[in-house]
Amino acid sequence: MKEDNQDTVIMESRRYHPNLLITGTPGCGKSATSELLQRRLSNSQYYNISDFAQKNDCYEGYDESRKSHIVDEDKLLDLLEPLLRKGGSIIDWHVNDIFPERLIDLVVVLRCENSILFQRLDKRGYHQAKIDENIDAEIMGVVMQDALDSYEKEIVVELTSDTIEQMEANVDRIVSWIELWQDQHHSGVTNELDEHETDSESDE
């Protein structure tokens, strides 16, 4: 069994399709954008992290004030990392700073106008305190700042996601980026930390 696991790690030491992180304040259109992307990318795997955590019981408690589960990030990453090493993943979550930088190739931060965001969250049945918290986070650009603090600025892009037309245009832009990435990385990119840093320096 141990040998099989080692072989798997060796096989997946490089990925040949980029991993995308679609992030933003709840209600900014992450899931809609990710689903549109998945339809365009035949070899992609879509991971809605809220659903993934629920399906795999990646919880360590419940926050009564926010009326939501507290995700066990260590368990989540233990399960998710082998999947990300294969490449071609679309990750959909409002939290972006927990994923290993060496496994993320593009971070898309979706932004939304406040009145539209309010309507979307209200339609979901969010209580007022949770709506206010999310709108405040969007106003202050919390998710964008987390992304800039956690990843190289060159791979972080901010896109407006107020309308379905904007979402479709965003998907077109991301697909074009993927095609360029594949043209530039015919031999793939490494999943390993030290080599990844070397690759980044070489690209510069």
Q: Known binder of ligand: residue 27?
A: yes
β-strand 14-15 against 20-24: which pairing, if any?
unpaired
61 appears as a binding residue in the annotation:
no
DSSP collapsed to 3 states, the chain:
CHHHHHHHHHHCCEECCCCEEEEECCCCCHHHHHHHHHHHCCCCEEEEHHHHHHHCCCEEEEECCCCEEEECHHHHHHHHHHHHCCCCEEEECCCCCCCCHHHCCEEEEEECCHHHHHHHHHHCCCCHHHHHHHHHHHHHCHHHHHHHHHCCHHHEEEEECCCHHHHHHHHHHHHHHHHHHHHHCCCCEECCHHHHHHHHHHHC
The one-letter amino acid at 41: L
Cα torsion 40, 163, 107, 23 to 10°: value is -110
Q: Is 141 annotated as a binding residue?
A: no
Residue 31, annotated as binding a ligand = yes
Q: Does 150 carry a binding-site annotation?
A: no
Q: Is 89 helix (H, G, I), strand (E, B) or coil?
A: strand
Q: Which residues are annotated as a binding site for ATP?
A: 27, 29-31, 124
Q: Which residues are annotated as a binding site?
A: 27, 29-31, 124
